[in-house]
C-alpha cells in the first residue's frame, strides 16, 4: 500500500522522465492543454481557447506512447488526474470547470494576455 499518488505500474525512472517532459512542455508554451481526443470537456476547452484567439499547445494523452505516464506525473504534480489539465503562463489552472469559471469571471482573457497567448485585440466571446 502506497500513498494515493503511488504508481506501481511505472518505474521511478519512467515517472521522472514523464514529469520532466510535462514540465518542459509547460515551461515552453504560453498555454498547454493535456487532453484526450474523445473527451468532451477537452473539446469544450479547446473550442473556447480557439474562440478567444489563443495560441495553445495540445497534448492528446491517448495518442502519446507515454500518455499514461504523463497523466500519472500530472497527478503527482498538480493533484489532478482528469483531462483537460490546463496550464496558462506556466501556472496550473485546472480542468474544464476551472477554465469556464475563470472565463465567466472575466479572468481568462487577462490570463491569456499576461501569458502572451492572445494578440492585442482578440475576438470577444
Ligand X SMILES: N[C@@H](CCC(=O)N[C@@H](CS)C(=O)NCC(=O)O)C(=O)O
Footprint on this chain of ligand X (rule: CB under 6 A):
36, 39, 41, 82-84, 95-97
- Residue number with the smallest Cβ distance to ligand X: 95
- Which CB sits closer to ligand X, 39 or 52? 39
* C-alpha span between 10 and 90 (Å, rounded): 26
Give least dist CB 119 to ligand X, A. Answer: 27
**With respect to ligand X, which residue has the nearer C-beta, 31 or 83?**
83
Q: How far apart are the first and last CA of the chain?
A: 48
Our CB check for ligand X shows the closer of 17 and 75 to be: 75
38 with 62: CB under 8 angstroms?
Answer: yes
Q: What does the block give as the cell for 54?
A: 489563443
Amino acid at each position: 500500500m502506497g500513498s494515493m499518488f503511488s504508481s506501481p505500474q511505472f518505474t521511478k525512472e519512467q515517472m521522472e522522465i514523464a514529469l520532466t517532459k510535462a514540465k518542459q512542455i509547460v515551461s515552453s508554451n504560453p498555454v498547454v492543454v493535456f487532453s484526450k481526443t474523445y473527451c468532451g470537456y477537452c473539446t469544450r476547452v479547446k473550442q473556447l481557447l480557439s474562440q478567444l484567439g489563443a495560441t495553445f499547445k495540445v497534448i492528446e494523452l491517448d495518442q502519446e506512447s507515454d500518455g499514461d505516464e504523463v497523466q500519472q506525473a500530472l497527478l503527482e504534480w498538480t493533484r489532478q488526474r482528469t483531462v483537460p489539465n490546463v496550464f496558462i503562463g506556466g501556472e496550473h489552472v485546472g480542468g474544464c470547470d476551472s477554465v469556464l469559471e475563470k472565463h465567466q469571471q472575466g479572468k481568462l482573457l487577462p490570463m491569456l494576455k499576461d501569458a502572451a497567448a492572445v494578440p492585442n485585440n482578440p475576438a470577444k466571446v
